[in-house]
Amino acid sequence: MTASIIDGKAFAAGLRARIADHAAAFEQAAGRKAGLAVVLVGEDPASQVYVRSKGKATLECGMNSFEHKLPADADEATLLALVEQLNADPAVDGILVQLPLPAHLDEQKVIATINPDKDVDGFHVTNAGRLAVGLPGFVPCTPLGCLMLLKDQLGNLSGLDAVVIGRSNIVGKPMAQLLLAESCTVTIAHSRTKNLEDVVRRADIVVAAVGRPEMVKGSWIKPGATVIDVGINRLPPAEGESKGRLVGDVDYAQTLEVAGAVTPVPGGVGPMTIAVLLRNALVAAHRNAGVALADGAL
């Protein structure tokens, strides 16, 4: 068997095109553009790339992008004051603080300062609670992107066995909540799970989000299962390479031989993260401006 390759890059491009159409309609209805503010503290090279991509994608969708950069040694009071200023700014519909923050800053405290109705990352405890009890709120971008790919691939997920490997607040836990809301039977596996291979082998859906390169082997996968690889790991450069290869948490070559469908790395889940961020920002704009957006439009 050779698995279908789930093209997250193409799906994300389609979503961004729909967002652009809705952003134009929003501007007509509200008399202003939707606005997304992104805060970067420090000079982490990967974060700089992500923030640049977010700004570019926001403008391409016809929304305003507000970028705020603070030095790596910025103190907590300065960062919290900036977040408060963005909370109060009516031109800003969504606020995102790029993670990870420098070690001296308390991520939870910073996230808690963001107005939950502008928290387009869905990291605020209010939004985590809304997701847990099934109230409307903002859902973290990466797991919502994974769910969109799964529904596009499989249609109705009801009754399927799903295993989420990883229990982070940003991916694992919200992913499990989303799958539960689709009536999957959900297992959250993690570093202490016993017989992980056997747990994975039962699953119709595997979401790997552990941050360990190629940890999930093809022999663990139930034939025909759908495998979503959230990992983005850079291997050490092989001889003659200037940069190491990017791999996921799943052994892709092995999984292709067994699974029904699998996301590649790069080009699978990663591009969905930014597309869903734009989606969340536009949803925030509609809510903030009191402009209707049809359920399921985005």
Ligand X SMILES: Nc1nc2c(c(=O)[nH]1)N[C@@H](CN(C=O)c1ccc(C(=O)N[C@@H](CCC(=O)O)C(=O)O)cc1)CN2
Active site members: 54, 98, 121
When asked if residue 112 is in the footprint of ligand X (CB under 6 A), the reply is no
In the block, which residue shows the tokens 């390479």?
Answer: 241
With contacts defined by CB under 6 A, name the span among 70-78, 97-105, 210-218, 221-229 that binds ligand X: 97-105
Binding letters toward ligand X, positions 185-224, x by CB under 6 A: ----------------------------------------
Report the sign of the C-alpha dihedral through residues 140, 141, 143, 148, in that order: positive
Report the sign of the C-alpha dihedral through residues 226, 230, 232, 233, in that order: negative
Q: Is 232 annotated as a binding residue?
A: yes
Burial class (CB in 10 A: 0-12, 13-18, 19+), 25: middle
With contacts defined by CB under 6 A, name the span among 16-24, 68-76, 149-157, 268-276 that binds ligand X: 268-276
Tell which one of 267, 287, 289, 297 touches ligand X (CB under 6 A): 267
Burial class (CB in 10 A: 0-12, 13-18, 19+), 63: buried
Tell which one of 30, 99, 112, 289 touches ligand X (CB under 6 A): 99
Which of 150/160 has CB closer to ligand X? 150
Q: Is 166 annotated as a binding residue?
A: yes
Neighbours of 171 (CB within 10 A): 25
Query: Is the CB of residue 203 less than 8 Å from the CB of residue 162?
Result: yes
Residues 34 to 93: which contact ligand X by CB under 6 A? Answer: 50
Return the closest-CA partner of residue 150 out of 11, 32, 28, 54: 11
DSSP characters for 262-296? E--SSSSSHHHHHHHHHHHHHHHHHHHHT----TT
Contacts of 25 (CB under 8 A, 6+ apart): none
Which of 138/220 has CB closer to ligand X? 138
When asked if residue 274 is in the footprint of ligand X (CB under 6 A), the reply is yes
Which of 246/289 has CB closer to ligand X? 246
When asked if residue 252 is in the footprint of ligand X (CB under 6 A), the reply is no
When asked if residue 149 is in the footprint of ligand X (CB under 6 A), the reply is no
The nearest distance, CB 20 to ligand X, in angstroms, is 18
Residues 167 to 186: which contact ligand X by CB under 6 A? Answer: none
Task: Give the integer Cα–Cα distance in Å for 280 and 298.
Answer: 9
Per this entry, what is the length of the chain? 298
When asked if residue 231 is in the footprint of ligand X (CB under 6 A), the reply is no
Binding residues for ligand X, rule: CB under 6 A, are 50, 96-99, 121, 141-142, 232, 246, 265-267, 270-271, 273-274
**Residues marked as binding for NADP(+)?**
166-168, 232
